[in-house]
Amino acid sequence: MSYHIAVAGKGGTGKTTFSAMLIKYLLNKGRRPILAVDADPNANLGEALGVEPETTIADLISETQDRLEPLPGGMAKETYIEYRIQAALAESKDVDLLVMGGPEGAGCYCYPNNLLRKYMERLHTNYPYVVMDNEAGLEHLSRRTTNDVDLLIVVSDPTVRGVRSAGRINELVDGIKLDVKRRFLVISKATAEPEGTLAEEIARTGLPLAGIVPLDPAVTEYDFNGRPLVELPGDSLVARAVTEILDRILA
C-alpha cells in the first residue's frame, strides 16, 4: 500500500513550493521511491523538482484518441496505453513525475480515461509514497476510482480570501466523497503569526493548522533563476519550516 499525500490550494498560494519541499523531506528521511503527480493544469512541479517530462497525460489522451484504431502491429489498446504512460513518466533518482496537463476538452475521453485511471492507479502501487500537487477544483482526485487520500494539505497564503478558499476546498472534499484520513491547513508565505481576523478565518475552515511557512527570499531567488526548489539548502527558512511541520504530523 502506498501512502498518498495530496496538496491542494488556490493558484499562487505556494502548493508547488510546499510539494517540492515535502518531497525533499521524504527523500531525506529515506522514504523512497516517490511518485510525484502534477495534477495542476498550470503545471510547474517538474521545474521545482528539476525533472522534465516529455509529455503529459492530457497530450497522451488526445493523441491516443486519434489513433486508437488501428494500433501499431495489432497491439492491444491497453498495452499501448500502458506503454505510452510509461513514456510520460519522467524518471529521476528516487522521484518519478507524471504531469496530468490539460485541462481536458469536452470531447468523450471516457474510454482512455478509464484505462488511464486503471493503469495510473496500478502505477501508484509501485511506490511507497505518492505526492500529488492539485488545483483547487480537485478535478483529478475526484476522477480516481479509488477515493483514498492518507494526508491532505491545503495551502493558503496569509490572506482572509486565501483562507476562505481553503475552507471551500475542505468542503469540496466532503462533497466529492473523498476518503481523506487526515487533513491540515498550512499558511504559506507568512510574514507573521496569524492573528485577529485571519486567525478567526483559519478557525472557521475547520482545518487544523499544521503550521506556517515563512516568506523566504531564497524561494524567490531560486524561482527567479529557474533553479529547482529541491536544491534549496536544508537550513533555508522554507526547508526548516516544512521539516518542522512534517516531523510533527508524520511522526
Residue ranges that bind Mg ion, judged by CB under 5 A: 16, 40, 44
Q: How far is the CB of 249 from ligand ADP (least distance, A)?
A: 18
Q: Which does 188 bind (CB under 5 to 8 A by kind): Mg ion, ligand ADP, none?
A: ligand ADP
Residue 238 and residue 219: Cα distance in Å, rounded? 8
Q: Which of 90, 152, 210, 213 binds ligand ADP (CB under 6 A)?
A: 213
Q: Which of 15, 84, 124, 183 binds ligand ADP (CB under 6 A)?
A: 15
The rounded radius of gyration (Å) of the Cα atoms in the chain is 18
Residue 72 and residue 67: Cα distance in Å, rounded? 9
Q: How far is the CB of 7 from Mg ion (least distance, A)?
A: 9
Q: Does 17 sit near ligand ADP (CB under 6 A)? A: yes
Q: Which three cell numbers stand for residue 57?
A: 497525460
- Which residue's CB is nearer to Mg ion, number 60 or number 132? 132
User: Could you give the C-alpha distances from 188 to 31, 47, 185, 230, in angstroms and in order?
Assistant: 24, 19, 10, 17
Q: Does 86 sit near ligand ADP (CB under 6 A)? A: no
| String of contacts with ligand ADP for each residue 18-57, x by CB under 6 A | --------------------------x-------------
Segment contacting ligand ADP by CB under 6 A, of 8-16, 79-87, 167-175, 179-187: 8-16
Q: Which of 238, 239, 245, 246 binds ligand ADP (CB under 6 A)?
A: 238
Binding site for ligand ADP (CB under 6 A): 9, 11-17, 44, 188-189, 213, 215-216, 219-220, 223, 238
